[in-house]
Amino acid sequence: MAITLTERAATEVKRIIADQKLPDGTNLRVGVKGGGCSGFSYTLGFDDSTSEIDQVTEFGDITIVCDPKSFLYLNNTEVDFEESLMGRGFKFQNPNASKSCGCGESFSV
């Protein structure tokens, strides 16, 4: 399976890469770390390298990279981007999460 992006999220990732003038071949690195109000927090960043043990998914012209430990929690997750009066940001639709906090930035399994 894989981690996927909605079209809105893909558009925002491309915009950030262009605005920050990141080099061709920049990957979107998705992961989790301990912490947050529900146990784990989502992480997003840009990376120009991959490890041979990383899970790599091509989504159009965006390469999504995830370390194996994070992938255990993120497999089948869809990353979306929302913009509203309450704010803007990436949102995770994670079928592996048994509970999420109100802000949507952390979860537990």
CATH number at residue 46: 2.60.300.12
Domain that holds residue 85: 4-17+26-108
Counting the structural domains of the chain, the total is 1
Torsions phi, psi for 4 (to 5 deg): -125, 165
DSSP 28-94: EEEEEEE-STTSEEEEEEEES---TTSEEEEETTEEEEE-HHHHHHHTT-EEEEEEETTEEEEEEE-
Residues in the chain: 109
Taking only the tens of pLDDT, the chain with its 109 residues reads 689 999 999 999 999 999 999 999 999 999 998 765 557 888 999 999 899 999 999 999 999 999 999 999 899 999 999 988 777 899 999 887 765 545 445 455 5
Say what the pLDDT of residue 34 is: 78
Torsions phi, psi for 6 (to 5 deg): -80, 165
